[in-house]
Structure 1
Amino acid sequence: MRIVAVVNNKGGVGKTTITANLGAGLAARGMKVLMIDLDPQASLTKSFFTVDESQLFLSKLQTIGAWFRAPDKGRAQVLADLVFSPPRCNALIGKQGGWLELVPSDPLIINSESLIPGAVDNTGNVRAAKFVGLHRRLAEDLADPAFSKYDVVLIDCAPAFSLTTKMATVAADMLLMPARPDFLSTEAIQVMGQRLLELTRDYNKHRQAAPDGVPEMRMPRVAVLFTMVQWHNGGPIDVQAQFINEVTALGVPVFGTLLRDRSSAYAASGRFGVPTMLANGVAPEIRTNLNDCVDELLKMFERL
């Protein structure tokens, strides 16, 4: 099983769109895919429902909030019980042998530390004795046999380096960082690198007091995927090409596939409760662009 956290401190860069379409693309190739929505905005969860359906369905779904409130004993089973299978999406995936499932988000996880029993002291800070266990919570539960049926887990993270994002980072084999090719996104990539260094340092410092057998944390593999790229004369416009080259010069792995700016097409498909990859009426070049991204991700898996 490969675990990919889709992260960026900056909002509006396409994290949810990427997560949904990569999940659909991998499932369409016969893979068993689980998506976990760790963004309190719940955009990934809502993207699998039409506007008319959303209130009815979402009111009936159990959310990730139940897992945060669960005691340690039997916690992995709580997470497994939250899995929901979007019927429309899986019907479109067809008979390729794959399927797509989702753990829905919860707005309350914006204060996730306060939901976990005994995680914080009376000042609101994470207890030092709980630090490693808290950050390993998701990694340990995804290692439970209940999740062994999945080939890939995709985690859609909030636009902040909060506890939920840190949990996803510790659990992940790979961090996929969507970014617009502009100054602010380039800066956000550098900030994320610093945050990862700090998390690795803090985790390993607290690990010294943890029980034997707790693995050391190493810097996860990071890959940047540029989104919303404006195309002209066979390539990105000059100002965006400059930022792409600057990030590449940092030595950060960068997807060769550039996701072009097709905001209207992505927005339109969202109204029908399916990812753009599976929607009717999508221009062939958009679907090809997304499939190229899936191809490249699979090659990265081979190198992990």
Structure 2
Amino acid sequence: MRIVAVVNNKGGVGKTTITANLGAGLAARGLKVLMIDLDPQASLTKSFFTVDESQLFLSKLQTVGAWFRAPDKGRAQVLADLVFSPPRCNALIGKQGGWLELVPSDPLIINSESLIPGAVDNSGHIKPSKFVALHRRLAEDLSDPAFSKYDVVLVDCAPAFSLTTKMATVAADMLLMPARPDFLSTEAIQVMGQRLLELTKAFNQHREAAPAEAPPMRMPRVAVLFTMVQWYNGSPIDVQAQFINEVKALGVPVFDTLIRDRSNAYAASGRHGVPTIMAGGVAPEVRANLHDCVDELLKMFERL
């Protein structure tokens, strides 16, 4: 099983769109895919419903908030019980052999520390004795036999380096960072690198201070995927090409596939209740662009 956390401190870079389309694309290739929505906005969850359906369906679903509130004993089974199969999407996948499932988000996880029993002290800070177990919570539960049927787990993270994002980072084999090719996103990539170093150091210090069975944390593989790229004469426009090259010069692995700026095609997917890669009426070049991204991710899995 490969675990991929889709992260970026900066919002509006296409994290949820990329997660939904990669999940659907991988499932269409015959893989068993689980998506976990750890963004309190629940945009990934809503990606699999039409606008008219979303409120009705979401009101009936159990959300990931139940997992955060669960006591340690039997916690992995709580997470497994929250899994939901989007029927429309899986019907389109058909007989390819794969399927797509989802753990829905919950707006309350914006304060996730306060939901976890015994996680914080009276001042609202994480107890040092709980640090390692808390950050390995998702990793431990995904190692449960209940999740062994999945080939890939995609975790859509909030646009902040919060506890939920840290949990996903500790669990991940790979961090996928969607980013726009502009100054702010380039800066966010550098900031994320620093946050990863800080988390790795803090995790391993807490582990040494209170020896536990948990393995030491190692830096996961990071790959940047540029989104919203504007094209001219077969190439990104000059100003965006400059930022793409600057990130490559940092030594950060970058997808060769560039997700082009076709906001109308992605915005329309809400009418269909399925990701753009599966939606009807989508221009062939938009769908092909997304499939190229799926192909490249699969090649990265082979190198992990």
Q: TM-score, normalised by structure 2?
A: 0.99
One-letter amino acid of the counterpart of residue 117, structure 2:
P
Tell me what 1:296 maps to: 296
Aligned residue type for 1:53: E
- Structure 1 portions without partners, runs of 5+: none
Question: Which residue number corresponds to residue 46 of structure 2?
Answer: 46
2:67 maps to which residue? 67
Q: C-alpha displacement at 1:213, in angstroms? A: 2.5
Q: Secondary structure at the match of 1:208?
A: helix
Corresponding residue pairs, total: 304
Query: 1:143-292 alignment to 2 at 5 Å?
Result: 143-292=143-292
CA-to-aligned-CA distance 1:11-61 (integer Å, 9 cap, x gap): 000000000000000000000000000000000001111111111110000
Letter in 1 for 2:268: A
1:141-166: CA deviation from partner (whole Å, max 9, x where unpaired): 00000000000000000000000000
- Who is 2:17 aligned against? 17
**1:196-221, Cα deviation, whole Å (9 max, x unpaired):** 00000000000013344310001110
Post-superposition Cα deviations, 1:171-214, rounded to whole Å, max 9, x if no partner, equal 00000000000000000000000000000000000001334431
| Counterpart AA for 1:303 | R
In 2, Cα distance between equivalents of 1:158 and 1:214: 25
Shift of residue 94, structure 1, vs aligned partner: 1.2
Q: Deviations over 1:57-90 (max 9, x none)?
A: 1000000000000000000000000000000000
Per-residue CA deviation, residues 85-120 of structure 1 (Å, 9 max, x unaligned), is: 000000011110000000000000000000000000
CA contact (8 A) 2:51 2:270 kept: no
**Cα distance in 1, alignment partners of residues 252 and 212 from structure 2:** 33
C-alpha separation in 2, matches of 1:12 and 1:271:
20
C-alpha separation between the residues in 1 aligned to 2:111 and 2:212?
30
Partner of 2:140: 140
CA distance in 2, matches of 1:36, 1:271: 22
RMSD, aligned CA: 0.6
For 1:267, the aligned partner's letter is A
Cα separation, 1, equivalents of 2:280 and 2:93: 13
Whether the aligned pair in 1 keeps the contact of 2:229 and 2:236 (CA below 8 Å) is: yes
Query: Could you state the TM-score of these two structures normalised by the residue count of structure 1?
Result: 0.99
What is the deviation of 1:138?
0.1
| Distance in 2 (alpha carbons) for counterparts of 1:32 and 1:98 | 5
1:103 counterpart residue number: 103
Contact 2:224/2:253 (<8 A) preserved: yes
Aligned equivalent of 2:89: 89
Deviation of 1:242 after TM superposition, in Å, equals 0.1
Percent identity (aligned): 89
Q: SS in structure 1 opposite 2:22?
A: helix
Aligned mates of 1:57, 1:110 — CA distance in 2: 21
Instruction: Provide structure 2 residue ranges, at least 5 long, that are not aligned to the other structure.
Output: none
Q: Which residue of 2 aligns with 1:125?
A: 125
Deviation at residue 281 of structure 1 after TM alignment: 0.8
Instruction: Give the C-alpha shift of residue 250 in structure 1.
Output: 0.1
Amino acid at match of 1:294: V
Residue identity opposite 2:284 in structure 1: P
